[in-house]
Structure 1
Amino acid sequence: MAIASSASAATVTTTVAVTATVQATCLVSATSLAFGTYAGVQVDATSTVSVTCTNTTPYNVGLDAGLATSATVTTRSLTGPAAAVLSYSLFSDTARTVNWGSTVSTDTLAGVGSGAAQALTVYGRIPASQFVTPGAYTDTITATVTF
């Protein structure tokens, strides 16, 4: 006669601690600001700076003076033929009265990250009555996010 044997199994468990530290971070991108044709009358245009920061991360976005040696953050300069200069300004409001510069807590734009892209509009203006050499004028502005 055969005897049935029972197999006995045992188990043990443990836990595995899983951790991560999320570092505050931001990403920034921007679209071009194209004024189009200027014929001595005021021209307005807009651009978008897109900022994506980790949730609850406070940030400031600054715009520098650009590449022209004569430029400041209040009066920027597009450079054209034979080093001719066409002045323009950048603002953070639709009325174009609040200058957008690069000094944190003075003339930068502040926000708080949400984890999603936040679109900030740059309002540009070339003032009237600048009779400069005809041709193409360019500048490059650097947007800096401080967080």
Structure 2
Amino acid sequence: MNRRRMYSASRMLRIVCAASFAAMAPPAVAKPFCSFASAAPVDFGIYSVFATQPNNFGVGSIQVNCQGGGGPINITLSTGQSHSFAARQMRSGASTLLYNLYISAARSAVWGDGSGASSAVYLDKNSNTKLDIFGQIPARQDVAVGNYSDHITAIVNF
């Protein structure tokens, strides 16, 4: 009989321990996440200082993958080296070349963080989307010959 009581007590102890650990486990929560799957730079080609109309248009893209979450997601772009959305600046040494990045091919809404005259891009909470970035360099800029570049940071807010 002792053996039977020991077996029952041992079995009961295992059940109590298992129940205790189950009670201590945190609830399962699916956390939202977003990532940039890929990015393609905006390439403006060769700029001509003699052009009287804007003729340097570039298109780049970012691929955004977001899952979960409770509301809309927005994608913002930084100002780069200019610290202004009014006119971003590419640099080559001490020379600067003005340009900007836009949300659509119409190039009417500057892609920024929503401050000033800029706009952010909004996506659904569950989204795997390729977003095009449209760039334009204004005409009539007298700049030195060189390779001009800027560094823009894309941020996902969710």
Structure 1-normalised TM-score? 0.77
Partners of 1:113 and 1:52 in 2: how far apart? 10
Structure 2 residue aligned with 1:110: 122
1:125: which partner in 2?
A: 136
More helix by share: 2
Q: Do the aligned residues in 2 keep the contact of 1:74 with 1:101 (CA within 8 Å)? A: no
* Residue 76 (str. 1) matches residue 88 (str. 2): yes
1:90/1:100 contact within 8 Å kept: yes
Q: Counterpart in 2 of 1:46?
A: 59
SS in 2 for 1:119: strand
Percent identical across equivalent pairs? 30
Deviations 1:52-82 (A, max 9, x none): 10046521011111024xx41121000013x
Unpaired runs of 5+ residues, structure 2, are: 1-21
C-alpha deviation, 1:92, in angstroms: 0.2
**Aligned match of 1:32:** 41
Q: What is the aligned residue count? A: 128
Q: Distance in 2 between matches of 1:91 and 1:24?
A: 27
Give the letter for the 2:88 counterpart. Answer: R
Root mean square deviation, CA, Å? 2.3
The aligned residue for residue 58 of structure 1 is 72
Alignment partner of 2:111: what SS?
Answer: coil
- Is 1:85 the counterpart of 2:96 in the alignment? yes
Find the aligned partners of 2:114 and 2:103 in 1 and give their Cα distance: 14
Q: Distance in 2 between matches of 1:30 and 1:74?
A: 24
Q: Please say if residues 89 and 99 of structure 2, whose CA atoms lie closer than 8 Å, have aligned partners that are also in contact.
A: yes
Q: Indicate conservation of the 8 Å contact 1:63/1:100, yes or no.
A: yes
Structure 1: runs of 5+ lacking an equivalent: 1-16
Which letter does structure 2 place at the counterpart of 1:33?
V
